[in-house]
Structure 1
Amino acid sequence: MFIFGHRFIDSVNFYHTQNIDAIDNTPSNSTIYLDFSEDNLDIIKYCRANEISLAVGVEDIRELIYASSLGASFILVQKELASTAMRIANNYLFDAKILVHIEDEDEIEELAILGVDGVIFSTAIIKTNS
Structure 2
Amino acid sequence: MQILGHDLIAYEPLIFTKDEIYENCFFEFDKALIKKAKEQNAQFSVVCDDLTKAILANASGAKFIICDIKNAKNFAKMAEFYLFDSKIACVIDDEAEIAILAYLGVDVAIFREAIRGDF
Q: Same fold (TM over 0.5)?
A: yes
Question: Radius of gyration: which is bigger?
Answer: 1
Counterpart for residue 82 of structure 1: 72
Aligned length: 118
User: Structure 1 vs Structure 2: percent identity of aligned residues?
Assistant: 35
Runs of 4+ with deviation above 6 angstroms: none
Give 2:87's match in structure 1, choosing from 85, 92, 97.
97
What TM-score results when the alignment is normalised by the length of structure 2?
Answer: 0.89
Alpha-carbon deviations, 1:66-107, whole Å to 9, x = none?
Answer: 211222111001111111101101111111011111111101
Give 1:50's match in structure 2, choosing from 27, 35, 40.
40
Instruction: Tell me the distance in 1 between the aligned counterparts of 2:48 and 2:6.
Output: 22
Q: Which runs of 5+ in 1 are unaligned?
A: none
Instruction: Tell me the distance in 2 between the aligned counterparts of 1:86 and 1:102.
Output: 16
Counterpart for residue 31 of structure 1: 24
Alpha-carbon deviations, 1:19-70, whole Å to 9, x = none?
Answer: 23xx3xx5xxx3111011xxx3222112112221111011111221121122
Counterpart for residue 115 of structure 1: 105
Q: Which runs of 5+ in 2 are unaligned?
A: none
